[in-house]
Amino acid sequence: MAPSIRLSPAARSLFDEPLAIAVQGLGPRQQVTLRTSLRDETGQLFQASAHYQAGDDGELDLARCPALPGGSFSGLEPMGLLWALQPQKPFWQLVKRDVQSPFLLQLEVFEGHGERPGQLLAQAQHERAFLRDGVRRVPVREGRIRATLFLPPGEDTFPGIIDIHGVGGGLSEHRASLLANHGFATLALAYYQFEDLPQKPNKLHLEYFEEAVNYMLQHPQVKSPGVGLLGFSKGAEVSLAMAAFLKNIMAVASLNGPVAVTLIPLSYKDKTIPTLTLYEHKAKATNSKILDYSDVLDDPFQAPGNQSLIPLEKAEAQFLFVVGQDDRVVKSEYYATEVCKLLQAQGKENFQILSYPGIGHCIDPPFFPLYPIGSHPVFHKLAVLGGELRAYSKAQVHAWSQIQAFFKKYL
């Protein structure tokens, strides 16, 4: 019997779902190399490989067989061939722009453990999709709002979440689309550098974000009485400010977010919060000439930085702070810890912190590749973003389930 790859689900799975991989028809204890390949929408190649040995029966099940040393990872890692994907072009990030088309994953099995791949024994293709059947993608152009709404299948009402991305502008839909598969009506909201929105805003107006909240609350398929916010980096900062100043925000999940206003001043009605001062000269060069910007902002808990602090004590929402202990862009663990101390001193208990070792600035849904060094979101120079491969893969899965549980509980 010729070797073949057995996948479950067979042809297609959601990007954040596990994929069971097995090879059958090998010789007893045969040594093989498994390789996965994926091309992003620009054609850039991501690959991972691992060395394995089949069982006495010629079967190789990645859920039971540990990878041997010498590949992209070793040990019992059933999803290693997905989470260990790395770009062939250095410092390249895997981004999904068109969530309506899946990524195509190629799997190959080669003879032996050599430096160069041996004879090709088996291959398979698999689609990693972002939309479950029946999930609706609705472009939203109402009033000033520029967004995309993802609605789960069916005519029910669903808990509503607004998903706000970080610095870089544009409209990012990958996280919102995946959340909709789990039963949330999710609005991916752009706030600059998209269509007719400002290219370089000199101020962010919370009234714009308030319009998005009202849009969600008036939608017949969004559960009342309030919405949740999921923000990453600058988007998390905006989400915290929304909770402090706007009504009907029930729950906020902040992913590696500042707790003070950074880069762009924020205003609501007649109040403007200034930004933390940024000192680019405080960047440090690592031995590889890559810059570390972790110390370039004023401390928001010390004068003069505290005038930029978001008044979270005014918020009625529940907070979930998801922070990486190796975040080199935002001091997210320090910020979350200190702001929760302030809330506690006010007699509040509306917060929890999930803190992960080995996690850098980027926190994406499960199985997105680690992006530890790349273009700094503000300075656009090569910078340390932080993170370690295996720790990141575990934390992504854990945090993703915790974020969903948090929103299910409070929405």
Annotated catalytic sites, by residue? 233, 327, 361
Whether 342 and 358 have beta carbons less than 8 Å apart is answered as: no
Read off the pLDDT of residues 247-279 as tens digits, 9 standing for 90 and up. Answer: 999 999 999 999 999 999 999 999 999 999 999
CATH numeric code, 136-410: 3.40.50.1820
Omega before 365 within 30 of 0, i.e. cis: no
List the chain residues with pLDDT less than 70: none
Read off the pLDDT of residues 172-200 as tens digits, 9 standing for 90 and up. Answer: 999 999 999 999 999 999 999 999 999 99
The C-alpha atoms of residue 106 and residue 166 are separated, in whole angstroms, by: 31
The pLDDT score that the predictor gives to residue 377 is 84
- Give the residue extent of every domain in the chain: 4-129, 136-410
The pLDDT score that the predictor gives to residue 213 is 98
CATH numeric code, 4-129: 2.60.40.2240
Count of beta carbons in the 10 Å neighbourhood of residue 186:
31
Structure-block tokens of residue 292: 């570390």
Buried-exposed string 286-308: b where 16+ CB fall within 10 A, e elsewhere: eeeebbbbbebbbbbbeeebeeb
For residue 280, the 8-state DSSP code is G
CA dihedral 18, 24, 28, 29 (to 10 degrees): -30
The pLDDT score that the predictor gives to residue 380 is 85
In residues, how long is the chain? 411
Whether 139 and 176 have beta carbons less than 8 Å apart is answered as: no
Structure-block tokens of residue 32: 């093989």
The pLDDT score that the predictor gives to residue 385 is 95
